[in-house]
């Protein structure tokens, strides 16, 4: 089983959002994937200098997708692979516990975090998205819960990416 460490760059969190709330939602998104990817891969919270995945707020690339609110990019440094998840700092994030979906023109931080974590597991060389409406990996960021059949498809895709010969 692979263990991937993530860290939230707390200094980047906008003043309008409580850092503790961001941490809690990130843990929830990670635990959703840990259930989905059971015995395959595990996401674990770690300190900055031990992380494989860096999560923070900042500017996102809207050159191809003008409505983008978050992104996940993979990069190599010193022969090692890392991921950077950026949540756009210029959108109105709704981190309140009862808003799980897009609501009142605001964006669900939990759904965005869940979606972007998926790119860590499910991207090959492409930026992969599910075509199934309601999937967390469908790009409209509608959902933060991974259904059972959805989990099966993600596990199959993850295995195909990590063991292409089998
Ligand atoms: Zn995406």
> Is residue 97 within 8 Å of residue 82, measured between CB atoms?
no
Q: What is the pLDDT of residue 101?
A: 47
- Distance, CA 127 to ligand 1 centroid (Å)? 7
- Distance, CA 115 to ligand 1 centroid (Å)? 6
Q: What is the pLDDT of residue 29?
A: 95
Q: What is the pLDDT of residue 14?
A: 92
User: Mean pLDDT score of the chain, rounded to an integer?
Assistant: 89
- Distance, CA 126 to ligand 1 centroid (Å)? 11
Q: Per residue in 91-129, pLDDT tens?
A: 888 755 554 444 444 578 888 999 999 999 999 878 899
Cα–Cα distance, 131 to 155 (Å, whole number):
16
For residue 98, the domain's CATH number is: 3.40.390.10
Q: What is the pLDDT of residue 142?
A: 67
DSSP labels, 134-150: T-TTSTT-------HHH
The whole-model pTM stands at 0.91
- Distance, CA 58 to ligand 1 centroid (Å)? 16
> Is residue 101 within 8 Å of residue 108, measured between CB atoms?
yes
Cα–Cα distance, 126 to 163 (Å, whole number):
17
- Distance, CA 96 to ligand 1 centroid (Å)? 22
- Distance, CA 10 to ligand 1 centroid (Å)? 23
Domains in the chain, number:
1
> Is residue 68 within 8 Å of residue 62, measured between CB atoms?
yes
Whole-Å CA distances, 70 to 84, 95, 139 = 10, 15, 10
Query: Helices 148-162 and 19-36 meet at what angle, rounded to 10?
Result: 80
- Distance, CA 60 to ligand 1 centroid (Å)? 12
- Distance, CA 4 to ligand 1 centroid (Å)? 19
- Residue 42 forms beta bridges with which residues? 3
Q: Per residue in 147-156, pLDDT tens?
A: 999 999 999 9
Residue of higher predicted confidence among 163 and 54: 54
- Distance, CA 140 to ligand 1 centroid (Å)? 8
Residue 23 belongs to what domain range?
2-162
What's 103's DSSP letter?
Answer: B
Cα–Cα distance, 72 to 75 (Å, whole number):
10
What's 129's DSSP letter?
Answer: -
Q: Per residue in 56-101, pLDDT tens?
A: 999 999 998 888 999 999 999 999 999 999 999 998 887 555 544 4
- Distance, CA 97 to ligand 1 centroid (Å)? 23
């Amino acid at each position: 089983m692979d263990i991937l460490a993530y860290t939230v760059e707390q200094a980047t969190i906008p003043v309008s959002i409580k850092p503790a709330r961001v941490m809690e939602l990130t843990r929830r998104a990670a635990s959703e994937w840990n259930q989905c990817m059971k015995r395959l891969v595990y996401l674990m919270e770690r300190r900055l200098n031990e992380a494989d995945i860096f999560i923070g707020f900042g500017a996102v690339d809207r050159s191809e997708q003008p409505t983008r609110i978050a992104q996940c990019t993979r990069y190599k440094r010193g022969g090692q692979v890392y991921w950077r998840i950026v949540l756009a700092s210029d959108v109105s994030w709704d981190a309140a516990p009862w808003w799980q979906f897009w609501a009142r023109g605001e964006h669900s931080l939990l759904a965005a975090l869940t979606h972007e974590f998926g790119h860590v597991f499910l991207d090959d060389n492409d930026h992969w998205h599910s075509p199934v409406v309601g999937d967390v990996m469908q790009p409209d960021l509608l959902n933060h819960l991974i259904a059972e059949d959805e989990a099966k498809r993600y596990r199959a895709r993850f295995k195909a990416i990590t063991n292409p010969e089998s």
